[in-house]
Amino acid sequence: MTREAVLMRDLICIYHPEFVSSRDMRRCGLHRPDLFNVERLVEESLAEVGGYKFVDAAHYDFSDFSDSKTTTVNLKTRTAMVGSVEGKIGALRITAYNPHRDRLDFFYVPQRDMDSVRVACYGKAAHKERIFITWNPQDHYNSFHDFLVKDFVELAQACDA
């Protein structure tokens, strides 16, 4: 399956208020996920479940100053890259599609840990930063495993203490 199809099946059709309340939206989303901006729907679902507002501002997506990112674990390299994390002022809520397991995994990175996980880009993108996540066949995310949360609800409701 594609990342968009799994996001629609396992997240958006379950948590997004417009998809929850409309059988036609769910049917269309499951049949044609490519018609939708699934990243935006994930952000709206996070705000709904988390109880904060989706604001889509510079350097953060939500009223609690956290930001949402989606990524996919590469089938060959078993790595996922989260780009454009420079300048983030709050926590990072990451939704990762793992095609090795045909599932979504969720990571919450508190603001205090951002400097330890992001790395600089090089060349023309030297002003940018990104995060690399590595998954192994023992179903472990190596050094990023400490940021793994059990499900979407925990991701949405997590907050920096």
Taking the model in full, what pTM does it have? 0.96
Quote the pLDDT of residue 134: 97
Q: How many folded domains does the chain comprise?
A: 1
The whole-number pLDDT of residue 160 equals 82
Q: How high is the pLDDT of residue 43? A: 98
90: containing domain:
3-157
pLDDT for 146 equals: 96
pLDDT of residue 125: 84
Going 62 to 67 to 72 to 73, the CA torsion angle's sign is negative
CATH code of residue 122: 3.40.1350
pLDDT of amino acid 5: 97
Q: Which residues of the chain have pLDDT under 50?
A: none
- The 3-state DSSP class for residue 127 equals coil
Question: CB count, 10 Å around CB of 112?
Answer: 10
Q: State residue 88 phi and psi, 5-degree precision.
A: -65, 135
At position 38, the amino acid (one-letter code) is: V
